[in-house]
Amino acid sequence: MELTNKKILIVGGTSGFGKQVALDVQSLGAKVTVIGHDFDRTKKFTEETSIKGIALNAQDKSELENFFEDKKFDHIISTLGGAMGGGFLDSSMELLRRTIEDKFFANLQLAKIAVKHLNESGSLILTSGSGGHPYDASGAIIGNQAINTLIAGLGVELAPDKRANAVSPTWTPTGLWRDMSNEQIEQQKNDFSKGVPLKRVSTVKEVASAYIYLMQNDFVTGQVLRVDGGVDL
């Protein structure tokens, strides 16, 4: 399916995967809107790209409902959620709860609101994640597995008029790691690549292409598309 003149919303679209998807679909003729959490970062993004950007708290139900009022989109993408390190015993209950809340429940709330504002034949695309182990990324893995289960359910619940899928990247250098120095990022890339069958990490553009594929292929729903170099094999 062509994306020309399609209305696309990207929640978490001012950096990383979301930003790249926004730029790519804009080049394909889509009408793009991005939601960012940080006002200054969102303002800078809109000035640099000429893409419509709105700053709001996408985890706030009232703010989301107010935003979606009287709006319709053909595709809605969410990159909500973060990462964490640590197992079940060495992580605090607060950290575990917050990580799962930010990943699963924030996306579930978004889905329950957003699907009412999808045009017929539209799709919702969430972001899961690959790699890591229960003993060193406990809360993040629970959140990702919950997203995968959510997508399986939504694929059936939204059929036959709408679709739901997810992209599952593994560790990729993005704005999520902006607090790390360049040296730390390079070290992380080298260390992580050793455990990937393809012996490298993905590029942001490679991951972004998966979201575009899921928008364009009308016969894919309820699926988690892994762009992870086979890290879990």
| The pLDDT value given to residue 178 | 66
The overall average pLDDT reported for the chain is 94
What integer is the mean pLDDT of 108-125? 98
Convert the pLDDT of each residue in 208-220 to its tens digit: 999 999 999 999 9
What integer is the mean pLDDT of 141-165? 98
| The pLDDT value given to residue 182 | 78
Q: Positive or negative CA dihedral for 137, 10, 215, 221?
A: positive
> By percentage, how much of the chain surpasses pLDDT 90?
85
What integer is the mean pLDDT of 200-212? 96
| The pLDDT value given to residue 174 | 73
| The pLDDT value given to residue 118 | 98
Give CB contacts under 8 A, 24+ apart, made by 110-114: 110/11, 110/58, 110/64, 110/78, 110/80, 111/150, 111/154, 111/164, 113/61, 113/64, 113/65, 113/68, 114/9, 114/64, 114/68, 114/73, 114/76
- Torsion angle of the four alpha carbons 19, 180, 202, 210, in this order, in degrees rounded to the nearest 10: -30
| The pLDDT value given to residue 114 | 98
Convert the pLDDT of each residue in 53-107 to its tens digit: 999 999 999 999 999 999 999 999 999 998 889 999 999 999 999 999 999 999 9
Q: 185 or 76: whose pLDDT is higher?
A: 76
- Of 6-10, 62-66, 74-78, 132-136, the poorest mean pLDDT is in 132-136
On the question of pLDDT at 168 being above 70, the answer is: yes
- Residue 144 near residue 79, CB atoms below 8 Å: no
Q: Which domains does the chain have, with CATH numbers?
A: 7-227 (3.40.50.720)
- Give CA–CA dist 128/15, Å, rounded: 17
The DSSP bridge partners found for residue 164 are: 124
On the question of pLDDT at 189 being above 90, the answer is: no
Predicted TM-score of the model (pTM): 0.95
- Give CA–CA dist 134/222, Å, rounded: 24
Convert the pLDDT of each residue in 87-102 to its tens digit: 999 999 999 999 999 9
On the question of pLDDT at 176 being above 70, the answer is: no
Q: 68 or 178: whose pLDDT is higher?
A: 68
